[in-house]
A and B are shown apart, each in its own frame.
Chain A
Amino acid sequence: MSSFAENLQNIDRRYLYLTLLLIVVIGLLVPIPLPLAVGPQARGVYDAIEKADPRKLAIVSTLWSASTQGENRPQTRVIIEHLMRRKLKFALIAFGDPQSTILAYEVADELAPKYGYKYGRDWINFGFRADIAGTLKGMVRNIEETLKQDTKERKPLHQFPIMKGIRNFDDVGFIAEVSASANYVSWLGLVAGSTDAPFCYAPTSVMAPELYTYIDSGQIAGMLFGIKGAAEYERMLGIKGFTTRAITPVSLTLILLFVLIGLGNYGMFASRRQGGKA
């Protein structure tokens, strides 16, 4: 008969799945009213938008699909909402994953009526491009020559009032990339140096730790650390959106993870003491 210690190492995976699911459901239904401290990285994004020149264009670049929408959609939403609050004109552009152009467009389109934003006058969708490096190199020289037309009305860019006086990255005042991939390599490698615009990044949590080196060097002005970064931003904007609710189950599931790792290890040590299988 297996000992309690050995059993602790071999809990049936179905119980683990059920516990995880229950914790998520309970966490979503009963949010724990604990405030989330706003970190300096999220504050960096906020400050960059606050200081952005309203005469210049802001660019929100996206590379995410629905597979990471749990993190990237709320990140896109809070950045766009802040841009709209500040009455900054902005353009959307998508790279890498073709889904992201519609996903980001939907977010902006749903927020637009709330802030009286009109397509073509206050915001525009540049659409999806398969190759980021070639496109960015071209945009550094001439945005319209590279992109030709928007993706909603499919009209030449110069026909939109928002593009008046916008030629290249000299006329861009803020850049944010919401991404599930390492696009920052192209942005920092090919655009940095051609513009004074601060570059902010909103990656999935998986990627966030690798970006602190660019925050340290000042190449990235601010960052939203996955879903937690979006939740911090919601707090700064005073919004109670999806991430404000989701941060409770996020917390609970992480605690579950550490408890399970602890149980497994306790089982291993206890089993070793009893001379059993570790």
Chain B
Amino acid sequence: MNLQKFLISAFPAAKGSMIWIAPLLVIACSVVLFFVLQSLPGRARKALIASLTFLAGLFYALEFFWPVRKGTDENFLTFAVPTVGNVINVLAAFTLGLGVFSLVRIHTGKVVKQREGWPNSAVLLISIVVMAVAGIRFENTLFFRSLFRDVLNSFDAAMFATLAFFIISAAYRAFRIKSAEATLLMVAALVVMLGQIPIGQYLTHWIPENGSFASIFRLDSISNWLLLTVNAPATRAIGFGLGIGGLAIALRLWLSLERGAFFEAKADES
């Protein structure tokens, strides 16, 4: 019997009233499990976290490294990839609520205790409720669509657009050409950006775009050459470092070798 058939027979779909009873039983078991977990000593907690992390990583690692069956591109684990992907998505969706929960907790406290700025906190809480209710209950109404596009989108875009003012001011005040490095950075920025915009391109527009040796001296060609022949290998070299570092971090996380407050301290508390 292969793994897929075994799992289907081990976890048969519920029917009739069992559709509701089975999940409720699982929840009841979860409550018991919760208290069992809490009774574990510090060492067992660490071992449990390390084992589950390792098993989770082992799934994708094995699925990638295990040889495929003849005539297919699948091995004994491939069938489970979509379901595991869904499990990750569902878990990740629960994490989306963490930030919201934290916001609600902090701002409710502010409103209840009427601390400084509490009216703003009240506005924040009302906004959460209005958007969540409009999105879930009245999704297909003009109210929600306008709230999303005209209000939320406008605010979001405006928040980030203010950076344009700050970047101009910061570049003017801080960009001083005091070294060879700063000069190169400035020259590269100038040539690359002039080659990207019509006004810059106009400076060399009299050189034919194609079919002539002189074409390589057009500003847009020089800009493209800088990006492909100077910028690309530099970023590639950085990328190689990032790749090796990323893989090392992944291995450390997978094998629970990572040290620090997050992985060490809390499990010891009992």
Contacts and interface: CB of A to CB of B under 8 A. Distances in A.
Contacts of A255: 199
Interface residues of A, number: 66
A130 B93 contact: yes
Contact of B172 (A16, A34, A103, A250): A16
Nearest to A129: B89
B157 A70 contact: yes
A247 B198 contact: yes
Interface string A205-245: 00001101101100000000100100000000000000000
A66 B89 CA distance: 23
Contacts of A102: 148
Given A20-B164, A34-B201, A247-B197, A138 B176 contact: no
A29 interface: no
A138 B157 contact: no
A254 B228 CA distance: 22
A32 B152 CA distance: 32
Interface in B54-106: 60, 74, 78-79, 81-89, 92-93, 95-96
B15 interface: no
Contacts of B149: 106
B198 A34 contact: yes
B92 A261 contact: no
Contacts of B83: 138, 145
A138 B209 CA distance: 45
Contacts of B200: 251
A265 B176 contact: yes
B89 A37 contact: no
A213 B236 contact: yes
Interface residues of B, number: 60
Contacts of A250: 197
Contacts of B152: 66, 99
B193 to A, nearest CB: 5
Nearest to A250: B197
A66 B198 contact: no
Given A69-B157, A216-B228, A37 B96 contact: no
A190 B40 CA distance: 38
B213 interface: no
B196 A228 contact: yes
Contacts of B172: 11, 16, 257, 260-261, 263-264
A133 B232 CA distance: 25
Contacts of A70: 157, 161
B20 to A, nearest CB: 21
B197 A213 contact: no
A192 to B, nearest CB: 14
9 contacts: A32-B198, A68-B160, A138-B81, A145-B83, A146-B86, A209-B231, A212-B235, A250-B197, A255-B199
The 7 closest A-B pairs by CB, nearest first: A138-B85, A134-B88, A66-B153, A134-B85, A138-B82, A130-B92, A34-B198
